[in-house]
Chains A and B, each alone.
Chain A
Amino acid sequence: MPRSSGTLSQTSAARGGPGPCNRAGPSQSQPARPTGASQKPPQENGSSSSVDVELDHMVINLVKTVLNLSVNKHLIKKADLVKNALGGNGRLFAKVIEQAKEELADVFGYKLVETERNKSFILVSTVTCGSVMDMSEDYRRKYTLLYLVLGYIYMKNGDVSEQGLWDFLAKLNISDEGEHSFFGDVRKLITETFVKQAYLVRTKQVVEGMNDDRFFYGWGARAEHELSKKDILESICKLMGKPSICYITQHAAAYGLNDDDEGDDSMDVTQN
């Protein structure tokens, strides 16, 4: 099983943690918190400074809400952000989100990426926190499965049928039924979890001549942002026992070379 030393970035937001109902209010004497860097000095024009404070307050709320909703890596809906952080006031969203994005990038090293135009977002990291070996056992196993799936999709140039994916995994003794001893519920991880986390996109396509719909998988927005094609390619190549240059199209795509031979993907990975 190839172990990738790739740049895996996990974003898990401020776990405020489950809060019990009667937590002490703001009067608790906590150590004095430093005031934020964005506090503006008092201005001559009273009204504009209160607007700034108001805006700043909303930016803080939006940042906190984004962080809280990003814990599971699920898509963050704009509607949830407007409802919770902006009190339902959608008109301010465009302005507040710009500043919130800056804060997330400057303070935390996170990038807020729009996955669906004006509807949903994901939070990805722009800083690498360490190697895959630093992760918990549970994470490592999930990532290993994910790498296999993403690798297979990559080698098939971005789009695979669900059946093709199961066939590939079956060759590695990973069944789509029941609990796998190492990976757990593989079917759930691939069809639900990774899709919800935007690592994979799962599309339904009606195939002519077939009665039921077929599902197809591709790389999701989070995979595009968090993982490097180079690492995935090298992982698959280790698995296949061939140097990456054998896979001309994929190698060119990963290493950023001009690829004019579109049809030259004759090295079919499933033949090996």
Chain B
Amino acid sequence: MNSTTAYSNVHRGFLQACVLNSTLTLSQAFKIISQLAEKYAPDDPAPTDDEMDTVVAEINAQIGRFGQRIVLLDFDPTQKEYYIFANLSDTPLDRVQEAYTEAEVDFFRVVLHELACTEHHRIQQIACLNLTANVVASGEPLTKGRAEELIDDWLEEGYLALTKKDIGFGPKTMVEFDRYLLNNFPDHIDTCRLCKEVLFYGVKCDKCSEMLHKSCMKKYIQRLKKCPACNKVWTVALE
């Protein structure tokens, strides 16, 4: 696919797919772009992996003014990369929606807060459902059944993730709420000393307990086989 061509239906179709799915794996994204290219740019050669990044950059140039961005994120727990459609602006206008009730929005806040304050930022699914008791919004109270549906939705969209049967932060939350969590939970949320970004998942040095991103440490260890914090030899597995 000649990716230096003008913005086309390949871009629009991919953007729609990102908006609809919120979070896409690389293979899902590649399949979608290939199908679109076949349909809308059949005379051009089939797109390659690298050309996906170009398409995404071209889309981002258009949607930036709406406060939107498609972000490629390396998600530690699954060791996979995801394209995430993120809404990065937060004004009262951005909160206008009719997809969720007030109680449901509050439930999400409650779940995020609980995850932030819990050690290792993981909670059991049962514990998550019990959080409906903490919802303070007015109107219809949230049933456990509805809470379960919401959690399934948020797992599907990438706001939450399942790691070893526990609920944890999903890639979309990492992109949209990193600043929020860092600002509101400074005692519970850390940043990686190597890249300065928020640390949601990571590896721990077994000598000094410093937490770092697995991907950051993998790069670092190619130069220096020591912990960047305590300088002792790094022995923790990083595969």
**Which B residues are in CB contact (< 8 Å) with A129?**
13, 16-17, 20, 32, 36
Cα A246 to Cα B157 in complex, Å, equals 45
**Which A residues are in CB contact (< 8 Å) with B208?**
none
Interface size class of B (residues with CB under 8 A): 35 or more
Shortest beta-carbon distance, A37 to chain B, in Å? 7
Cα A13 to Cα B85 in complex, Å, equals 11
A68 and B66: CB pair below 8 A?
A: no
Query: In the complex, what residue of chain B is closest to A15 when comparing beta carbons?
Result: B22
Of B9, B19, B39, which one neighbours A13 at CB under 8 angstroms? B19
Cα A23 to Cα B183 in complex, Å, equals 9
Cα A34 to Cα B67 in complex, Å, equals 10
Decide yes or no: A60 and B96 within 8 Å by CB, A17-B172, A108-B15 being known contacts.
no
- Interface segment, one of A69-77, A91-99, A148-156, A175-183: A69-77
Cα A63 to Cα B16 in complex, Å, equals 14
Cα A253 to Cα B77 in complex, Å, equals 53
Question: Is B214 at the interface (CB under 8 A from chain A)?
Answer: no
Shortest beta-carbon distance, A129 to chain B, in Å? 5
A36 and B64: CB pair below 8 A?
A: yes
Cα A28 to Cα B179 in complex, Å, equals 6
B64 and A35: CB pair below 8 A?
A: yes
B87 and A17: CB pair below 8 A?
A: yes
A18 and B105: CB pair below 8 A?
A: yes
Decide yes or no: A33 and B67 within 8 Å by CB, A20-B108, A71-B99, A72-B99 being known contacts.
yes
Query: In the complex, what residue of chain A is closest to B12 when comparing beta carbons?
Result: A109
A24 and B179: CB pair below 8 A?
A: yes
A20 and B180: CB pair below 8 A?
A: yes
Shortest beta-carbon distance, B23 to chain A, in Å? 11
Question: Is B190 at the interface (CB under 8 A from chain A)?
Answer: no
Question: Is B60 at the interface (CB under 8 A from chain A)?
Answer: yes
Cα A108 to Cα B166 in complex, Å, equals 36
Shortest beta-carbon distance, B103 to chain A, in Å? 10
**Which B residues are in CB contact (< 8 Å) with A17?**
87, 108, 157, 159, 172, 176
Shortest beta-carbon distance, B92 to chain A, in Å? 9
Question: Is A130 at the interface (CB under 8 A from chain B)?
Answer: yes
* Count of CB-CB pairs between chains A and B under 8 Å: 148
Decide yes or no: A109 and B16 within 8 Å by CB, A18-B105, A19-B90 being known contacts.
yes
Q: Classify the interface of chain A: helix, strand, loop or mixed.
A: loop
- Interface residues in B198-238 by Cβ distance below 8 A to A read none
**Which B residues are in CB contact (< 8 Å) with A21?**
109
Cα A60 to Cα B66 in complex, Å, equals 6
Interface size class of A (residues with CB under 8 A): 35 or more
**Which A residues are in CB contact (< 8 Å) with B107?**
18
Decide yes or no: A20 and B112 within 8 Å by CB, A15-B157, A128-B39 being known contacts.
yes
B93 and A84: CB pair below 8 A?
A: yes
Of A61, A74, A126, A136, which one neighbours B98 at CB under 8 angstroms? A74
Cα A56 to Cα B147 in complex, Å, equals 39
- Interface residues in B139-196 by Cβ distance below 8 A to A read 156-157, 159, 172, 176-177, 179-180, 182-184
Shortest beta-carbon distance, B55 to chain A, in Å? 14
B85 and A14: CB pair below 8 A?
A: yes
Shortest beta-carbon distance, B62 to chain A, in Å? 5
Cα A84 to Cα B92 in complex, Å, equals 9
**Which B residues are in CB contact (< 8 Å) with A19?**
90, 94-95, 105
**Which A residues are in CB contact (< 8 Å) with B96?**
65, 68-69, 84
Produce 1/0 per residue, A126-159, CB < 8 A to B.
1111100010100000000000000000000000
A interface residue numbers (CB < 8 A to B):
9-26, 28-31, 33-38, 60-61, 63-65, 67-69, 71-72, 74, 84-85, 106-110, 125-130, 134, 136
B interface residue numbers (CB < 8 A to A):
7, 9, 12-13, 15-17, 19-20, 22, 32, 35-36, 39-40, 60-69, 85, 87-91, 93-100, 104-105, 107-109, 112-113, 156-157, 159, 172, 176-177, 179-180, 182-184
